[in-house]
Amino acid sequence: MSDPKDNKPVDDVTGVETTGHTWDGIEELNNPLPRWWLWCFYLTIIWGIGYVIAYPAWPMISKATPGLLGYSTRGEVARDIDTFREASAANDAALATSDLATLSQNEDLYRYAVSSGAAVFRNNCSQCHGSGAAGAKGYPNLLDDDWLWGGNHEQIAYTVRHGIRNDADDDAHYSEMPAFGEILEEGDIPVLVEYVRGLAGEEHDATLAASGEELYIDNCSACHGENGMGDRDQGAPNLTDAIWLYGGDRDSLTETITYSRFGVMPPWSPRLSEAQIQAVATYVHQLGGGEVDPAN
Amino acid sequence: MADTPPSLYAAREPIFPRRVTGFFRTLKWWILGLTLSVYYLLPWVRWDRGPNLPNQAVLADLEHRRFFFFWIEIWPHEFYFVAGLLIMAGLGLFLFTSALGRVWCGYTCPQTVWTDLFLLVERWVEGDRNAQIRLLKAKWDLRKVRLRVTKWLIWLAISIATGGAWVFYFTDAPTLAVNLVNLSAPAVAYFSIAILTATTFIFGGFMREQVCIYMCPWPRIQAAMMDEGTLTVGYRKWRGEPRGKHRKGARAAAAAGTATAYVETNLPEADQGTGDCIDCMACVNVCPMGIDIRDGQQMECITCALCIDACDEIMDKIGKPRGLIDYLALEDVPPPVDSPERATWAPRPIWKHILKPRTILYTAIWSAIGAGLVFALFVRSDIELTVSPVRNPTYVMQSDGSIRNIYDVRLRNKSGDDRLFHLSLTSEETLRIGLEGTNTLTVNVPANETLLQRVYVTARRNDPAASADRTDLRLWVEDLTTKTRAGSATIFNGKGE
């Protein structure tokens, strides 16, 4: 409240001192800000100057001024990663030499394997097998109970380590189905398609299928077995189950038999550490389809 | 003078509130004692919860994400209790503000309570208002230095205790106290204490009313919650004006008027010309905000009611009825003196100011939420499950053509012992349940922990559920020790053919 004795201009209505500024007869009231507030404002300016000196601030042509403290968020992430690696070094060392079949008895290490395996999977495997491991056409679904090359811990780890049908690893799983379009008569293939659909219990033409048995025994049973149960040593799919890697409809089967398939998986041992391979195998095994490990 | 604009910044005018006694001051001392005792002592109250659980009655265990309040234990997924309490606190604030104005500011706000405590220290060390003013003007001699340093040291001790008490709410208090002393407590504890010590010291000792006037949003918000019927500290202008110096002879003459409720016409002849306010400035001198309540309702007023005590004391001395400054509502203005209604006019009774649709509505909502929370508190059980169906993919076909759904089930064992949980499901269809990692349907959930269990539900190839789009089902968990059960509804995704 202003005192009239000060001879300051005062607004009649509010009794508040004015700044003396008038626009179109409207006067500007002066409700002064506390002085300490002004000092706080100056402090923020000083802080700002200090910040610009200490931290990366001014954008230059290729990068910003580094600042005296040499701080960067990228550096912080790198430090965090190092800290994390250091913290998990003991677990990784233990995991690399563990027997995966009995790992679940070591509750902490097992939990570590599953969660770090999930991270490895998302970074390296999800591009083909999907982030939920449900696979896609040509890329096996890892959630189900059907395995081409075996589904116990050791078999999964081997597949991850060496891959499938690649040239980079001599120990990779290898098999090759011939393109029967060059081997069989043209009319034979529809017959085989009906026969294979019959094996799987799908809807099929029974007469055609019946005439396909001999063709099948001659050409297919060496790998897929006389009953169509497949052969894991050769990665030959079981033809009697409900799961089709490339589709079980007539067009897909015709294509598969005519031109064959050649699914490739790279070997991961050059890119992943042994601990990471063990971890991702553990993770995949517990997704739902993992098979019982053989007793030693 | 218009050529030289006035300063746009104001220096703080020092305020020296005079000591005052009376009903509201006593009430405020009690509230101060109660609130501060609760704040400082609560972390030290023990509460036996048995093994595996902390024995501190009130504990916000950030590390394990649990909140303990005597017999109540809140888990993170029960945060709605905290949300509910916050809503109740908000509504309570609305209720009290609409009925009694800024009663929160005046009586219970930490800023008010600690400032009061700091003022008490100040008076104890330096003396009352006049002594403080003299000391401010005095040269910096040995006595001034001694008094100032003493005051600041006591303030600092209170501030450290205040910051210190805060951290005890977040971990076991006796352990932390020992660790704090032998310098092995976590850095964040020292950091929190340092910050709260600094804010208490600065806000309570030096910023005081500046916090309320310039930093706190509440004075701006309050206007929306008050109306002309709200009781708030005010000056009966119609009774006090025009102000005039007190004349000695008037006291005995006015004595007759004190016995009954105040009616201006009861006043003796000699006082008819002037009002009851004798301009003694008692109300201004006791005001911790440095304002004059006689200017009417102001944003600065925190309604601490000390001016009521101060004025009542003066009114007693000069033989006038109390209540020149009082809790009153804006609408309680009597008709003009010469109006015939004036003789029979009486202010609305207090209960009518408090009991109005607005406060009744606030009370009703407040009680409804409170009742809901209490109900929720009693129906919640020791075991719980949360079911998250895995939707990537929605279903998995197995080699035999059956359809399997995967669920991430969080099993919570809130008891203090390890428990065996048995899982089962109910559905109109024939679905089978299985658990990852075990051939049984039983898992061991450690005490006071949450376990994430992958659960499989499978529909055989020809089951309706396998081809249906979705099927309702309910997952159950049973504590094999206590036989208590908890269920959660979810769905089973089929091929949707």
For B175-208, write each residue's pLDDT tens digit. Answer: 999 999 999 999 999 999 999 999 999 999 999 9
d(Cα A19, Cα B348) in Å, to the nearest integer? 43
Q: For chains A and B, what is the number of CB pairs under 8 angstroms?
A: 93
pLDDT at B15: 93
When pLDDT is averaged across residues B61-66 and rounded to a whole number, the result is: 88
pLDDT at B270: 47
Average per-residue pLDDT for chain B: 89
From chain A, the residues in CB contact with B405 under 8 A are: none
pTM across the whole model = 0.78
Beta-bridge partners for B449 = B413
From chain B, the residues in CB contact with A38 under 8 A are: 9
When pLDDT is averaged across residues B80-86 and rounded to a whole number, the result is: 92
Average per-residue pLDDT for chain A: 92
The answer to whether B95 and B366 have CB atoms below 8 angstroms apart is yes
From chain A, the residues in CB contact with B461 under 8 A are: 242
With CB atoms and an 8 Å threshold, state whether A17 touches B6. yes
From chain A, the residues in CB contact with B6 under 8 A are: 8, 17, 19-20, 30, 32
* Nearest in space to B112 (alpha carbons), one of B300, B310, B245: B300
Instruction: For residue range B453-489, list pLDDT tens digits in order.
Output: 999 999 999 999 999 999 999 999 999 999 999 999 9
Q: Is the dihedral of CA B43, B46, B47, B51 positive or negative?
A: positive
Beta-bridge partners for B480 = none
**């949450």: which residue's tokens?**
B450
Instruction: For residue range B265-303, list pLDDT tens digits in order.
Output: 455 544 556 788 999 999 999 999 999 999 988 889 999
Half-sphere exposure of A106 (CA within 13 A, CB side): 15
Residue of A nearest to B12 (CA): A34
Q: Does B296 touch chain A (CB under 8 A)?
A: no
User: Is residue A283 scored above 50 in pLDDT?
Assistant: yes
**């972390």: which residue's tokens?**
B43
* Contacts (Cβ under 8 Å, ≥6 apart) of A268: A124, A160, A161, A163, A277, A280
Omega cis (within 30) before B5: no
**Tokens representing B435?**
């658990």
pLDDT at A7: 66
Amino acid type, A256: T
pLDDT at A32: 86
Reported as a pLDDT band with limits 50, 70 and 90, residue B79 is confident
Q: Give exposure, B24-38, as e/b (b: 16+ Cβ within 10 Å).
A: bbeebeebbeebbee
Reported as a pLDDT band with limits 50, 70 and 90, residue A90 is very high
- Structure ipTM over 0.90, yes or no: no
User: Is residue B379 scored above 60 in pLDDT?
Assistant: yes
* Nearest in space to B100 (alpha carbons), one of B232, B200, B245, B285: B232
Instruction: For residue range A267-282, list pLDDT tens digits in order.
Output: 999 999 999 999 999 9
d(Cα B100, Cα B94) in Å, to the nearest integer? 10
Reported as a pLDDT band with limits 50, 70 and 90, residue B247 is low
Give Cα separations from B388 to B63, B77, B384, B431, B475 (angstroms): 25, 14, 13, 18, 11
Give the A window 107-126 contacts with B, CB below 8 Å.
none
User: Is residue B264 scored above 60 in pLDDT?
Assistant: no
Best B398, B402, B436 residue to mutate vs chain A (most A CBs within 10 Å): B398
Instruction: For residue range B312-337, list pLDDT tens digits in order.
Output: 999 999 888 998 999 988 888 888 77
Residue of A nearest to B437 (CA): A286
**């081409």: which residue's tokens?**
A148
**Tokens representing B171?**
């971990």
With CB atoms and an 8 Å threshold, state whether B437 touches A32. no
* Nearest in space to A276 (alpha carbons), one of A161, A171, A170: A161
When pLDDT is averaged across residues A142-147 and rounded to a whole number, the result is: 95
From chain A, the residues in CB contact with B5 under 8 A are: 19-21, 30
* Nearest in space to B300 (alpha carbons), one of B206, B222, B212, B211: B212
d(Cα A270, Cα A43) in Å, to the nearest integer? 56
Work out whether strand B58-61 and strand B66-69 pair parallel, antiparallel, or are unpaired: antiparallel
With CB atoms and an 8 Å threshold, state whether B2 touches A9. yes
Omega cis (within 30) before B242: yes
pLDDT at A15: 80
pLDDT at B297: 86
| Shortest distance, CA A175 to any CA of chain B (angstroms) | 22
When pLDDT is averaged across residues B216-222 and rounded to a whole number, the result is: 89
pLDDT at B221: 87
Beta-bridge partners for B491 = B472
Give the B window 5-24 contacts with A, CB below 8 Å.
5-12
* Highest mean predicted confidence (pLDDT) among B3-17, B63-77, B118-132: B118-132
Half-sphere exposure of B136 (CA within 13 A, CB side): 11
3-state DSSP of chain B: CCCCCCCCEECCCCCCCCCCCCHHHHHHHHHHHHHHHHHHHHHHCECCCCCCCCCECEEEECCCCEEEECCEEECHHHCHHHHHHHHHHHHHHHHHHHHHCCHHHHHHCHHHHHHHHHHHHHHHHHCCHHHHHHHHHCCCCHHHHHHHHHHHHHHHHHHHHHHHHHHCCCCCHHHHHHHHHCCCCCHHHHHHHHHHHHHHHHHHHHHCHHHHHHHCCHHHHHCCCCCCCCCEEEECHHHHCCCCCCCCCHHHHHHHHHCCCCCHHHCCHHHCCCCCCCCCCHHHHCCCCCCCHHHCCCCCCCCCCHHHHHHHHHHHHCCCCCCCEEEECCCCCCCCCCCHHHHHCCCCCHHHHHCCHHHHHHHHHHHHHHHHHHHHHHHCCCEEEEEEECCCCCCEECCCCCEEEEEEEEEEECCCCCEEEEEEEEECCCEEEEECCECCCEEEECCCEEEEEEEEEEECCCCHHHHCCEEEEEEEEEECCCCCEEEEEEEEECCCC
**């005039």: which residue's tokens?**
B244
* Nearest in space to B219 (alpha carbons), one of B305, B307, B106, B359: B106
pLDDT at B252: 45
Query: At residue B443, what are phi and psi to the nearest 5 degrees?
Result: -125, 150
Instruction: For residue range B345-371, list pLDDT tens digits in order.
Output: 887 888 888 899 999 999 999 999 999
Q: Does A247 touch chain B (CB under 8 A)?
A: no
d(Cα B233, Cα B103) in Å, to the nearest integer? 10
pLDDT at B109: 95
The answer to whether B487 and B430 have CB atoms below 8 angstroms apart is no
From chain B, the residues in CB contact with A130 under 8 A are: 392-393
| DSSP codes joined into one string, A225-258 | -TTS--BGGGTBPPSSSS--SS--SHHHHHHHHH
Beta-bridge partners for B477 = B423, B486
Instruction: For residue range A235-246, list pLDDT tens digits in order.
Output: 999 999 999 999
Tell me how far apart the 2 most distant CA atoms of chain A are, in Å: 121
A11: left (phi over 0), alpha (psi -120 to 50) or beta: beta
pLDDT at B255: 47
d(Cα B32, Cα B26) in Å, to the nearest integer? 10
Reported as a pLDDT band with limits 50, 70 and 90, residue B261 is very low
The answer to whether B326 and B308 have CB atoms below 8 angstroms apart is yes
B263: left (phi over 0), alpha (psi -120 to 50) or beta: beta
Half-sphere exposure of B135 (CA within 13 A, CB side): 20
Reported as a pLDDT band with limits 50, 70 and 90, residue A4 is very low
Reported as a pLDDT band with limits 50, 70 and 90, residue B253 is very low
d(Cα B236, Cα B328) in Å, to the nearest integer? 8
